[in-house]
Amino acid sequence: MNDLVFGRRYRVVEKIGSGGMADVYKATDEVLGRTVAVKVLHAQYASDQQFVARFRQEAQAAAHLSHPGIVNIFDWGHDEETYYIIMEYVRGTDLKTLVTERGPLDSLKAAEYGSQVCAALSVAHGYDVIHRDIKPHNIVLTPEGQIKVMDFGIARMGNTQMTQTGSVLGTAHYVSPEQAQGRKLGPASDLYSLGVVLYELTTGRLPFDGDSPVSVALKHVNEDPIPPRQINPNIPAAMEVVIMRAMSKDPSQRYASAEEMRRDLQRVASGRVVETQPAAGQTTVMPVVERDAMQSSRVRPVPRRSNPWPWIIGVVAVILVGIGVAWAMGAFDTAPDKIKVPDLTGMTVKQAEDALKAIQLTVGDIEPTFSQEESGTVVGQDPEEDAEVDAGAEIKLMVSAGLELFKVPKVVDLTEEEAAQKLIEAGFELAPAQREYNSKVNKGIVFKQTPEAGQKVPKGTRITLVVSEGTELREVPKVTGQSRSTAENDLTSAGFKVKVNEEYNDTVPESEVIRQSPDAGSFAEAGSSVTIVVSKGEELISVPEVRTETEADARTMIDDLGLNVVVNYQVTVNPDEDGSVLNQDPLPGTSVRRGDTVTIWVGKMPGP
């Protein structure tokens, strides 16, 4: 596997995944020394020139996206007929695996994950990049609790199936109705798919299933899902509202943007009421329609011509009888009529005014009241429903001011026990604490809280504390005797940074690790540096040119290179050659080892 290299720099370490479109490998970038993921497209796509052109265009578009929640694309290219994409290597678990292994997730945690996905989608949609294949398999949860969305710009080409009519379907269980019908897609399509993901995370089930991808896609187009709370009653009502709005069949009935959906999911995560508008088909309170308006809309039949007098006499007789009965029952007393007060709860103030006006009553005092009901909704009235009052009477309304909000106290820098006590005394609840290594914070101390200190939230909101586990120590693996690339990969995989020094060594082959610091088997802080000394091989020295040099200069030049020198004297009759080097062995430019001998011949005039 180590022999597989892409682009002459990305050396494969191991295969980490495979799908219908590509195989994924973990690799080392030998130029920058970092770990990356290499997505290698299957050979069937390489022969399709239209696909290759779109692949290039989409990879380049996705490479412009920069956001902590988006898996970065670093590079792309091809070796002969093999096309590949170089991506950020992310350690973690995809949400599909998470929900498969653990079952339904806590709704508030699912809302938090969904809000992070929305943040990533908001950036992509700002660049006109539609993901087209949002599904839990493409959403990774890192050990730090951060969400990463993968495969931006890739899903358009891959992971698709064709119907007989040629319309393209994405992954069938998460496809939007418009995508299933082959219509033009916009940001709302990604939001629908995210709604399906949240449905699955909170219920542990997919909203639609079938014998084939086409049958599942048709259900997305034609059928309504079972409301999530019918499957899992523990799901908050606000979470169900968000999911059902995101999964509206009509894109115009969904959220207008990923940012709008993110804000609602953040409200759910913090236990607040969402501000989403009811989609078509949801129950709303309608103002009272006056009887005159109803009667005026009826079509009156044209009476036939006949003798009117028998009818007139009959009507007069009925009226006289009715007047007599009414008189006997006191209908003509001077006391005013009594009016029965209607139920106004659940209405807006305007709807309540209209309803009272229609029966000759008016709105009196309006008293703001903290309530779980939506702000502006009537939650109480005085007199109550069915009470009898005089015409023109005023009805006092108690109107929801929303949930009463309280400021979250600061508990960062406290111990876990101190933080818990302070939050409980302030009327908040605690979510299960998260524990992370942090070399800058002592073990057992809170270094992060959600919601943050100073934020105003309803009482009873669950506060998540992130508690330090102290410094993470990891065992340093043994890398001496290994090749440089293998040593760097082993140390990086163990969670260390690598610092490389080089030196010549006569006994250790070139590119092999001579020694390391800290030593193998010792423990060091995760993320700290391990220094390795790599052999440059045996040091060879190039013999200098010393011919024509004086004997003294030649000796100095050879000694400075760590070589030994042997001097022979040769008789010469040329005065210019007296004391100069006439010849040497080895010749200039010859490679020799440190400590080897260079012999020189020095001219010497004969004596008298």
Phi, psi for residue 426 in degrees, rounded to 5: -85, 0
Of 133, 190, 264, 490, which residue is the catalytic one?
133
Per the CB < 8 A criterion, the answer to whether 403 and 379 are in contact is: no
Residue with tokens 């019918």: 230
Phi, psi for residue 340 in degrees, rounded to 5: -85, 130
Give the whole-angstrom CA distance, residue 280 versus residue 132: 25
Give the whole-angstrom CA distance, residue 145 versus residue 69: 11
Give the whole-angstrom CA distance, residue 581 versus residue 549: 6
Give the whole-angstrom CA distance, residue 596 versus residue 493: 44
Q: If you ran DSSP here, which 8-state letter would residue 555 be given?
A: H
397 alpha-carbon distance from chain centroid:
44
Per the CB < 8 A criterion, the answer to whether 170 and 159 are in contact is: yes
Residues near 401 by beta carbon (within 8 Å), at least 6 away in sequence: 368, 369, 370, 371, 375
CA distance readout (Å), 579 to 568, 583, 599: 11, 12, 15
Annotation marks residue 133 as catalytic: yes
Q: Is 151 helix (H, G, I), strand (E, B) or coil?
A: coil
Tokens matching residue 394: 């005023």
Strands 22-29 and 5-6: unpaired
Give the whole-angstrom CA distance, residue 429 versus residue 420: 9
Give the whole-angstrom CA distance, residue 122 versus residue 260: 9
Angle at 39 between CA 483 and CA 59, to 5 degrees: 125
Residue with tokens 């290179």: 561
Residues near 75 by beta carbon (within 8 Å), at least 6 away in sequence: 7, 85, 86
CA distance readout (Å), 547 to 55, 445, 517: 64, 75, 46
Tokens matching residue 469: 């586990």
Q: How many CB atoms lie within 10 A of CB 422?
A: 14
Q: Which residue type occupies 473?
A: L
Residues near 315 by beta carbon (within 8 Å), at least 6 away in sequence: none
Q: Is 106 helix (H, G, I), strand (E, B) or coil?
A: coil
Angle at 47 between CA 53 and CA 128, to 5 degrees: 25
CA distance readout (Å), 70 to 12, 126, 515: 23, 14, 39
Give the whole-angstrom CA distance, residue 141 versus residue 346: 40
Tokens matching residue 49: 């020139």
Q: If you ran DSSP here, which 8-state letter would residue 136 be given?
A: G
Phi, psi for residue 446 in degrees, rounded to 5: -75, 130
Give the whole-angstrom CA distance, residue 244 versus residue 278: 10
- Active centre residues (catalytic): 133
